Each structure stands twice: as structure tokens, then as C-alpha cells.
Structure 1
Amino acid sequence: MAIEIAVETPLQDDVRMLVAELNAYLIPLTPREFQFQLTVEQMADPTVTLFVARDENGRPVGMGALKEHGDGLGEVKRMFTLPSVRGQRVGSELLQRIEQLAREEGITRLLLETGEAEGFEPAYRVYERGGFTVCGAVLDYPDSGFSRFYEKKIA
């Protein structure tokens, strides 16, 4: 399958639907008070760059974002691929594009928070294959036992 990845605004109906699918997948996995998703409106903030993967028909099949925190620190947010494309390395390609932009922006450390529950294993594989390592709690996320944190130092 041919995939095109580009920076896009989250304020599009088909991207909103992709975000809704991600939320529907995540919400049952972790207590709501330990979920830290950006809304579509928050994703439109100038500190956030959203990459959208589209199939040959222009349908969004995945996304991932870079949130810049300043001082060389960036955060991977809203990583998701539709179940129908999992295993086709779409998530890995999105993560590579995020890392490439981070390098261009002078970011030297990428962080991310994801869930710590059954159902997150595909995400762990993508992050670990991408060179991320498990670390302690980052930024202002609580160390609740419901989150797993990753980091990657980049040149």
C-alpha cells in the first residue's frame, strides 16, 4: 500500500474522525483521570505539528504529532494507526517523520507518555523499534502506574 505522510491541520473532518477512533480505542483501556490526550483544537496550537498518513485513496490511516516544549525538549503525541494498516510500518514512518522534524527544530530529547495496560503493546513495539527506551515519569505527568514513559536522545 502506498502511503503519503504530510503535515496537516487537525481541523479537518476526516482527521477529527481519526482522532475520534483513537479516543474510542484508548478510553476503555485506562481510567479517564490518567488519560492525557490533546483535543483537536489543542493539536492546532502552533507548538504542535501533526503528521497525517493517507492511503492511495486519500483516506487518513494514521497520525502522530510533535509538541515542542522549548529548551531542546519535544514530545510525541497522538500516535495512532488504524487497525487495518497495523503491521505495515505506518507508525514507524510517522515516528521517523516526527524525529526528522525534531532534529530540524533543534530538539535533542524526545519524550512520550503512553498507557500501561493490555492493548498498548503495538505502540510499545513501534517506540522501542524506533530507539526509544523506557524511563521514569516525564514533564508534569503523574507516576500513576497507568502510564509508561519513553525517551530518546537525538543529535
Structure 2
Amino acid sequence: MALEFEAGGLDRADVRALLAEHLSDMFATSPAESVHALDLDALGEGAVSFWTAREDGRLLGCGALKDLGDGHGELKSMRTTADARGRGVATALLAHLVATARSRGWTRLSLETGTEPYFAAARRLYAREGFEACEPFGDYALDPHSVFLTRPI
């Protein structure tokens, strides 16, 4: 698999469709007050950098990094297309995002994901890649529908 990572792309129809699917699934799975996925406007803000993963031009996934300051970043909007699942796309995308965060001089990367069974595969991926449970960070508060994870980079 030869993945190509591209910065940006929020204006592309396939990216917008994948992000709409992502938000729809988040609201279908978690209570609205526990959905922390970013919409298109928030993904375009200055503190957020967004990437896509493509194979032969076909969108397979996306992810973003949010600069929290003081060398701390947050992983946001990790999503793969249905036909990309089980092919290692999420692992490769996560590796790209971690390497990018490291190249920026960040020393810690954190994330929030859900507690529901729907998020089990994501939690397994993050645990495999060295993320461990932590307290809420940034603007997050304790929430029974959220798991907070972090790792040094």
C-alpha cells in the first residue's frame, strides 16, 4: 500500500463527505454534549492542521492535529473510509501525525475518544501505539462517555 499524505483538502467533496459521515456517526453513537469532533469550520482554524491519506488519488482517511501550546498537541478527526478499514490505513495515518507532531517539537500528544463499543477498535489502535489513559486535558471535563489518552513523543 502506497499512501500519500496531503495537507489540507477541506474544500474537496470526498473529504467533506467523509467528515460529514464522521460527525453523523459521532452524534448517532454518543450524547450530543459528549461529541467533541470538529466540524469543517473548526478544522480550518489556525491552531488545527488537517491531512488526508490517499492511495492512487482515492481518499482512504483523514486526521488532524491541534496545537494546545507548551509542546502539547491533540489528535483530532481520525477517520478512515469503510473500504480502508483493516488495511493498516489508520496505523499509517497515526504514524504520520505523530511524526509531524514530533517534527514540530511537540513532546506530548493526547486525544479524546468514546467509551461506547463503537470506539473499541480506535481504543485498541491507540493502546497499541503507546497511548495511555490520562485525566482530561485542555478544555475537556470528566465525562462517562469519554476516554482521555496521551503519550510522549
TM-score, reference length from structure 1 = 0.92
Contact 1:11–1:40, Cα closer than 8 Å, also in 2: no
Work out the CA distance in 2 between the residues paired with 1:97 and 1:29: 27
Contact 2:68–2:138, Cα closer than 8 Å, also in 1: no
**Number of residues paired by the alignment?**
153
Contact 1:9–1:44, Cα closer than 8 Å, also in 2: no
Work out the CA distance in 2 between the residues paired with 1:131 and 1:88: 20
**Is 1:59 matched up with 2:54?**
no
3-state secondary structure, aligned to 1:119: helix
Using the TM superposition, give the Cα deviation of residue 24 of structure 1 relative to its aligned residue in structure 2, in angstroms: 2.1
The residue aligned with 2:24 is 24
The residue aligned with 2:118 is 119
Structure 1 unaligned regions, length at least 5? none
Using the TM superposition, give the Cα deviation of residue 32 of structure 1 relative to its aligned residue in structure 2, in angstroms: 0.5
Contact 2:23–2:39, Cα closer than 8 Å, also in 1: no
Aligned residue runs from structure 1 range 1-155, under 5 A: 1-56=1-56, 58-154=57-153
3-state secondary structure, aligned to 1:25: helix
Structure 2 unaligned regions, length at least 5? none
CA RMSD of aligned residues (A): 1.3
Work out the CA distance in 2 between the residues paired with 1:60 and 1:27: 23
Shift >6 Å, 4+ stretches = none
Using the TM superposition, give the Cα deviation of residue 54 of structure 1 relative to its aligned residue in structure 2, in angstroms: 1.4
